[in-house]
Amino acid sequence: THESRTNYLRNVLAWLAEGAGYTTEVWVNNDPPEGWLDNESHVDTIQAGIDAVPPGGTVYVIGTDNQVYEENVVVDKSIDLIGIDNPTIRASGTNVVTVQVDWARIDGFTIEGNSVQNGIYIEDATRCIIINCTISTNISKMGIYLSSAHNNTIRNNTIQDGLYGIYADCSLGNTIRYNDISSNDGGIYLYQTSLTTVRDNTIHNNGNIGGIRMESGRQNLIYGNTIENNSGNGIHLISSTNKNEIKYNTIRNNSNGIWLEISNSNIIFNNTISNNSNDGVVCTEFSHSNTLRENNIYSNRYGVNLQNSSNNGIIYNTIEQNQRGMYFSSSSSNVLQSNTICNNTGDGIRMASSSDNNIIASCTIQNNSYGIYLQMSRNNTFDGNTISLNSADGIYLYYAMSGFFGENNMTDNTISSNTGSGISLYASVGNTIYENEVSLNGADGIRLFASSNENTITSNAVWNNSYGIHLDRSNFNNITNNTIHNHSADGIYIKNYASENDVHTNTIQYNANGIALSSSTINDVSGNTVALNREHGISLSSSTSNAIYENEIYSNTNSGIYLSSSDINQITNNTIWNNENGIYLVSSGGTGNTIVNNTVHSNSNHGIFLENSRTATAGNNELIQNDIYSNSGCGVYLYSSNINSLQNNEIYSNGDAGVYLNSSDSNTLQGNEIYGNTGHGLYLNFSNNNDIQSNNISFNGGNGLYILHSSQGDSLPIQDNLIWNNSEAGINISSSSNNYFTYNIIWNNSMGFSLYDSSTNNEIRYTILHNNSYGIHINVSSTNNVIHDNNVTRNEYGVYIGGPNCRTNEVYDNNFLNNTLHNNSQAWDMGNNSWYVGTEGNYWSDRDPLETYYLIPPYGTQDKYPLASPRTWWL
């Protein structure tokens, strides 16, 4: 070691001097017994002792009787100056002791000032040792001052009451160890020093300059010190670069624990930094490329504070019980990895004011206010962190953008059990939330609000929060491939004019509503699996111009898709099954919603249900080319819903009617396939002015078309329908008036037409009625109906009018062909109705050409002008 080499060289000098006959040991006593000074090796001043020995000699200074040597000592030889029983050297002026030579040793003195500047001053000297000294009292500047002094050792001293305990200026390779340094303005000041070791010292109760200050230092080691109760900073580095190492220190009860100012490439390792009134570690003024590793930082204001500092590595630290764990301001490209940041009263990590391009990875961030709070910063990465049990949000981004995009990335984090939301974005644009597990948070799993636009939320597992993903007045976001389940509120909630968001290929289960939109427009909801939610699968309230397509929506408690007061939405190519209602519209329409190419089946109530949708005249809801089957209620049910369009749907095997219009007017039903339903194929109740044409209605358990208390009017003929193989009537008209039927083909039903219960003023024309039990059946006070220009063929009864109250009906210009004869007639009339108008009767295929009339039982009603040949009304 340096010390052993120094001792060896000094011993060589002593041996040479002794061999040459010099005195190599001198004793100093300024209060000697009588005759003591008669010995040539005894003197009464320290300076005389130094002058008396050669280099390598030893001067022993006696302090047995509390001697005080009031002299300014200059060590200008490589000697040992040894105090016996701790003598005191007291002086005024500039220095008490001045060392001007290499290899000097000063051991065992009390050094005091009498208005002196410095206690010990070492200038241009190397390999000197200052050991076991107490330096205090009336020293105005430095306890020990090293100037251009290299490879010296300062050990086991007590240094008090100066401006600086130890001050090193332009000095290299010194060792400062085992010293107690207190009650100075500053403990140790290293200026333009390198390769210096400050180790195992106790540095305490110093003033505003602090424990250790290093300025323009390089490759120094600060190791194993206890630095406490200083009014200033524990350790303060200024413009100090290139691997200064601060290791294994205990730093507590100072202003800042460690402050790096314009200091780069330093290592802060395994220190305990606590109870400082300001920050544990603070880096300011462009301090970069520093490493903070495995430190225990607790009970400070901020654990780590970075101000305008970049490219630092903060790794494996424990940062807890501070007011705020970490704070970044205008600090970029830092790496935070594998830190434990817990139990801070404020935020775990706060990043503000253009703190960009930082990486926070594999940290545990728990029991803080916000876990991570990011403000006006971009391009940061949060990867693989565990963020839990914080009293506010796990991650909160506030205006997290610069220019147009924030481009912060939150990836593979576990974010759970926070009192607020797992992740919140406020006015933050262009960020990515990817492959996180977000669960058990008291508010939302992921929340975007206040124009948080163009963010990407993908491949996250979000569960057991209030809302899973919540968008409030936020646009152009992409929510893709997430698994969202078991929330007390909705899985995805989009509200308050949130527009042009894409919700795609998510799996959404066990929530209130799976997806809910409120007052939101132009959103795209596609390719999602939405199942087993407690309310609706997808719910739209006061929302317009949204596209809902290619979703699989099943086993939700209420409706698969629910629209309330919503308009101009497109619902296409969805598969919707095992809900209460497949699609349910309430007070929705205006311009009109479009429901196209959906498969809606096996729902416990209706396939598609429209209620109070819609009453405006500008447009209509359109149900087109849907496949609607095996629902327990109706395939399509319209209640108080007007001006809707049902076209080209396939509606079959439902438990009630295929299509049911209840108090619903001016709807269009065209080109639908309605078959195999348990109830009626198409059922109108108190529903008027509907346009029904070109439907194929068959194999239904009730009537093909059942019209009850309804009038469609002459301007909207029910026409071009194929109605066949229904269990009851092809068309049943009950208590209904002013309906006009034309160009329908009706066959293989129980009755072709049934006019019943005071049905009046209906017209049946240009219709083929074939192979029914009754071609046309009129009963119970049904009057003033007109039946003409029809083909009635091969029915058991062609026309059957039962009851005397069925009067003033007109039956003429029809072709009765090969219907079963009853009392030699193809018709039956118990109400004496008119079978001709003017001179036009009907064509009867069984009439004897010689008969000029056709007799209709049972009361002999006559067609007085039967036609000689079939009427070709179809030409």
Peptide bond into 614 cis (omega under 30): yes
**pLDDT value of residue 495:** 97
Judgement on whether residues 661 and 717 belong to the same structural domain of the protein: yes
**pLDDT value of residue 3:** 56
Label residue 1 by pLDDT band (50, 70, 90): low
**pLDDT for residue 14 is more than 80:** no
Share of residues in the chain with pLDDT > 90 (%) = 93
Judgement on whether residues 660 and 586 belong to the same structural domain of the protein: yes
Judgement on whether residues 579 and 650 belong to the same structural domain of the protein: yes
Tell me the CA distances in angstroms from 32 to 48, 106, 107, one per residue in order.
Answer: 15, 22, 21
Length of the chain: 875
Judgement on whether residues 752 and 723 belong to the same structural domain of the protein: no
Q: Would 332 be classed as within a structural domain? A: no
Q: Would 734 be classed as within a structural domain? A: no
- pTM greater than 0.85: yes
Q: Would 64 be classed as within a structural domain? A: no
For residue range 488-510, what is the model confidence (pLDDT) as tens digits? 999 999 999 999 999 999 999 99
Q: Would 794 be classed as within a structural domain? A: yes
Judgement on whether residues 634 and 707 belong to the same structural domain of the protein: yes
In the predicted model, what is the mean pLDDT of residues 123-151?
Answer: 97
Q: Would 87 be classed as within a structural domain? A: no
**pLDDT value of residue 659:** 98
For residue range 341-387, what is the model confidence (pLDDT) as tens digits? 999 999 999 999 889 999 999 999 999 999 999 999 999 999 999 99
Q: Would 75 be classed as within a structural domain? A: no
Half-sphere exposure of 95 (CA within 13 A, CB side): 15
**pLDDT value of residue 406:** 73
Where is average pLDDT lowest: 50-59, 400-409, 849-858? 400-409
DSSP per-residue letters across 279-308:
-SEEEESS--S-EEES-EEESSSEEEEEES
Judgement on whether residues 615 and 690 belong to the same structural domain of the protein: yes
Label residue 18 by pLDDT band (50, 70, 90): low
**pLDDT value of residue 242:** 83
For residue range 141-174, what is the model confidence (pLDDT) as tens digits? 999 999 999 999 999 999 999 999 999 999 999 9
Q: Which of 673, 699, 727 is the last residue of a domain?
A: 727
For residue range 813-843, what is the model confidence (pLDDT) as tens digits? 999 999 999 999 999 999 999 999 999 999 9
The Cα 417–Cα 369 span in angstroms is 12
**pLDDT for residue 64 is more than 60:** yes
Judgement on whether residues 575 and 662 belong to the same structural domain of the protein: yes
Q: Would 753 be classed as within a structural domain? A: yes
Q: Would 810 be classed as within a structural domain? A: yes
Quote the distance between the C-alpha of residue 828 and its chain's center: 76
For residue range 648-688, what is the model confidence (pLDDT) as tens digits? 999 999 999 999 999 999 999 999 999 999 999 999 999 99
In the predicted model, what is the mean pLDDT of residues 411-415?
Answer: 98
Enclosing domain of residue 662: 558-727
In the predicted model, what is the mean pLDDT of residues 182-200?
Answer: 97
Q: Which of 727, 760, 776 is the last residue of a domain?
A: 727
Quote the distance between the C-alpha of residue 637 and its chain's center: 39
For residue range 588-600, what is the model confidence (pLDDT) as tens digits? 988 889 999 999 9
For residue range 23-51, what is the model confidence (pLDDT) as tens digits? 899 999 999 999 999 999 999 999 999 99
**pLDDT value of residue 41:** 96
Judgement on whether residues 583 and 699 belong to the same structural domain of the protein: yes
**pLDDT value of residue 22:** 73
Judgement on whether residues 632 and 599 belong to the same structural domain of the protein: yes
For residue range 439-458, what is the model confidence (pLDDT) as tens digits? 999 999 999 999 999 999 99
Judgement on whether residues 714 and 570 belong to the same structural domain of the protein: yes
Q: Is 597 exposed, middle or buried (0-12, 13-18, 19+ CB in 10 A)?
A: middle
**pLDDT value of residue 9:** 58
**pLDDT value of residue 619:** 65
For residue range 198-238, what is the model confidence (pLDDT) as tens digits? 999 999 999 999 999 999 999 999 999 999 999 999 999 99
Share of residues in the chain with pLDDT > 70 (%) = 97
Judgement on whether residues 618 and 707 belong to the same structural domain of the protein: yes
Q: Which of 288, 303, 318 is the last residue of a domain?
A: 303
- Average pLDDT of the chain is 95
Give one word for 94, left, alpha or beta, with left for phi > 0 and alpha for psi -120 to 50: alpha
For residue range 598-652, what is the model confidence (pLDDT) as tens digits? 999 999 999 999 999 865 555 689 999 999 999 999 999 999 999 999 999 999 9
**pLDDT value of residue 402:** 54
How many distinct structural domains can be found in the chain?
3
Half-sphere exposure of 144 (CA within 13 A, CB side): 34
**pLDDT for residue 6 is more than 90:** no
**pLDDT value of residue 613:** 85
CATH number at residue 562: 2.160.20.10
Looking at residue 590, its amino acid is G
The Cα 612–Cα 663 span in angstroms is 9
Label residue 875 by pLDDT band (50, 70, 90): confident
Judgement on whether residues 800 and 701 belong to the same structural domain of the protein: no
DSSP per-residue letters across 801-863:
EESTT--S-EEES-EEESPPPSSS-SEEESS--BS-BTTB--EETT--TT-SSEEETBTTEEE
For residue range 770-822, what is the model confidence (pLDDT) as tens digits? 999 999 999 999 999 999 999 999 999 999 999 899 999 999 999 999 999 99
Residue among 175, 178, 174, 278 nearest 236 (CA): 278
